[in-house]
Amino acid sequence: MSGLKITCFDCGQVNRVPADKLDAAPKCASCGAHLVSDKAIEIDMRTLEKAARNDDLPLVVDFWAPWCGPCRMMAPEFSKAASALSGKARLVKVNTEAEPRAGQIYGIRGIPTMVKFKGGREVKRQSGAVGAAAIMAWAQV
């Protein structure tokens, strides 16, 4: 079976979606949730690990915390970038306060930190708050 592997953020099921159907609001075969969103989605570590390992569509992760001023400043910019990159990459957020293992597993030394995964591995990272245009340029595939 061909198509891009995409992990459902709701149930964790890995789905295959034809590349030409990414703009057609594909849904999870298991739970019916949308697989491609124009919003930045908050996910947990279990879902992140599965998506980072399996997904063919680039995954851009914003590691952040609610008490972090620069993180809060970057949040609306990250959301704008998620909207602009819909169908080209999936942008997600991991709250490092709620998921303390994130810092250990992914070597996060400061927040906000963005990490891009593609093809099952980390391909780049950047720390510090940036605007939507910079996020889009950085995340381009």
* Catalytic residue set: 68, 71
Cα torsion for 102, 118, 129, 37, to the nearest 10°?
A: -90
* Residue (of 6, 4, 97, 81) closest to 45 by Cα position: 97
CA–CA distance, 56 with 87 (Å, rounded to integer): 12
How many CB atoms neighbour CB 61 within 10 A? Answer: 25
Return the bridge partners of 122, or none.
117
Kindly give the interhelix angle for 132-139 and 69-84, rounded to the nearest 10 degrees: 60
